[in-house]
Amino acid sequence: MYDIIIVGAGPAGASAAIFSAKAGLKTLVLDNDKGMTKRAWIENHYGVMEIDGPSMVELGKKQALKFGAEIVETKVTFVGEAEAGEGLVVETEGGNYEAKHVILATGAIPELAENSGLTIVDGTEPRIKFVAEVDEFGRTSTPGIWAAGVAAGVSVHSIITAGDGARVAINVISEIKGQRYVDHDVLKA
């Protein structure tokens, strides 16, 4: 049983995984390598002069791995309540996993949210047709399933989707720990 399973390893998903794993939570990322960021050239991400999308995605995954996240390449086909009644089941083309919480960070591909029976709403951003309906914390219509990044309807920019993945992960971590969570490292002497 994972504490958090994140579907998608783009800026939103990898950023969520960095926070989740660094918080000491058992974290799994499932991704099928079909994200939009792999086609981007980025010069508007704060703190980064310029970077190609594939490098940003690889760096994000490497950072998540550094803090102990596991990453498996597979397509997720369904997320829903486990039959046993505790937690969530995540069905993939390579087998099933279980988690207490799931964050969908699936970018512009709404298929998984639709197939999992989440409430879907029209997207507001250019070329984004549908997104998962979320509350102010990132919760979807199914308890335990959260959404972040383009999949949750935020502006289609890497700094915003990465920030949103972090924001939603902090909300999940805070719920698990029972108090607001903050992750601050201090300048080394």
Q: Which residues bind ligand FAD (CB under 6 A)?
A: 7-13, 30-37, 39-42, 44-45, 75-76, 105-109, 112, 149-151, 156-159, 161
Nearer to ligand FAD, 85 or 140 (CB): 140
Q: Which residue is nearest to ligand FAD (CB)?
A: 10
- Strand runs labelled E in the chain: 2-7, 27-31, 41-42, 51-52, 70-73, 76-81, 88-92, 95-104, 120-122, 130-132, 145-147
Task: Answer for the pair 142, 158: CB distance below 8 angstroms, yes or no.
Answer: no
CB of 107 to ligand FAD, least distance (A): 3
Nearer to ligand FAD, 26 or 157 (CB): 157
| Structure tokens, 105 | 């960070």
Angle between helices 11-22 and 53-66 (to 10 degrees): 20
CB of 188 to ligand FAD, least distance (A): 30
Nearer to ligand FAD, 75 or 167 (CB): 75
